[in-house]
Structure 1
Amino acid sequence: MRGTSQASRDAVLKAFEPVASASGADGMKLGRELFVVVDALDGSGSLRRALTDPARDADAKSALVKHLFGGLDSRVVDVVGDFAGHRWSEDVDLAVAVEDAGTEAMLASAQHAGHIDTVEDELFQVQRLLEGERDLLVALSNRSVSREVRLELLEGVLKGRMDQVTQALLHRAVEKVRGQRLITTIKSLVQAAATRRGRLLASVVSAVELSAAQRARLVSILTSAYGREIQLNVAVDPEVLGGIKVQVGTEAVDGTVLARLDEARRRLVS
């Protein structure tokens, strides 16, 4: 999503954020109802075009939203109407943006319950599991296999031991792979959880397990470098060359860069 669609998505989600935060435990309900809207949009090209037609009056589009989805929570109707009132480069971008709102509502419920860190960690652990189990990843991503079979396979992985928000988001990811790989969708969920906590996500792959002191030092280096609080997600892979790989957002940071940053930080404080 780029340009006009990205700007519209960001503007509506910014306005929706305090609504999601104030929803408390209702965030799960809002998320599920927003996903209902997404499914309706995915299933009807004519509906997407009607709600994204730039020649159509915003009030008329809002009235259509109320007519079709008036039985849902008023907060859901309001945010979908807000989305429809903005401009979109492609009609499919509207469904993607509403999906993002549903994700944010569910993450807000986890934050309200004090579980957002747990959800982020669980999502990351599933990401690492699937990255190491290619056959499982392919099976969960195979759209020629029925939804029921894929979800049953996912349940065999989760074993009912994860937070309800984690399970709901992963169920959704397996159900609706929106034009991207499943692993990419899960990574975006991890990123969304970190952002919800106000942290910059740093994904680390190390040849050996990092000690608590090494983790603290790495967080200190990255916090100094980026000027923001860092959420460190660490995975172990013995095949990592050079001992460690670090990804901050879309930026890869190699070990030599980290060494230079650490040296500069120590010089500044000495």
Structure 2
Amino acid sequence: MTAGRAFVMGHPIAHSRSPMLHGYWLERYRIAGSYQPIDVAPEDLAGFFANFREAGWVGGNVTVPHKLAVIEYLDRIDEAAAALGAVNTIWWQDGALVGGNTDCTGFLGNLDELAPGWDRAGGRAVILGAGGAARAAAYGLRQRGLSVALCNRTAERAEDIARHFGGMSGHGMDALPGLLAEADLLVNTTSLGMLGKPPLEIDLAPLKPGAVVHDVVYVPLETGLLKAARARGHRTVDGLGMLLHQAVDGFRHWFGTTPEVTAELRALLIDDIRAKTPGA
């Protein structure tokens, strides 16, 4: 395999698990490449891209606070990045530096793996939240043909996303019980329930029997929402797989191999999460 240098950049970046993830794949497929974390402060972003080609980068991942700021340094962005207004993956294509967003494919890939058949025709989905993860989920669910309703504490933010994508609705939390009664999929994209954050307090009693419940939070791996849903007999999907699946396309672009999300890889990251976050 051709060697290549890839990165994940952000500010700060020490917390990223992407090097462990991509390092696993590099070793598994015996690719003589590298993937390293780089802390780039906002004021250093222009200098980083000024030397991008000379540094030999084949591409990389972008995290906060650069997901929007990097766009001006790219030759073009793909449809997903344009729709979501953020870039999380960069690669070379036909001599052009391209930016994409793989949050949507990561979200869908995780559901496909852990809850096969979740996207049945005519399905209805309810998304909690109105941040970047909610946008990615809404964009992906619309692609799969589901009817989407967003609920957020501030209804206007949910309504803004609904208008942006079209063909979906935005609501305040007061509408949630009625929406749950028709839902085939419930997705939490808020940080509520994450370790160190307040719990997500919603009543699942109205939720349609047979609905799948997905929480994008993965620390802890089983959030209070997932625990309550599992107790009611719902299929549940944790958030770790979204991190794993969103990395596949980047690795393919940089190193020419489409990697597999394996049980061994999932276990590797779970062990790391538990070792570094007591109580997770």
- What TM-score do you get using the length of structure 2 for normalisation? 0.23
Query: Which protein is richer in strand relative to its size?
Result: 2
Q: Which has the higher helix share?
A: 1
Rg (Cα) greater in structure: 1
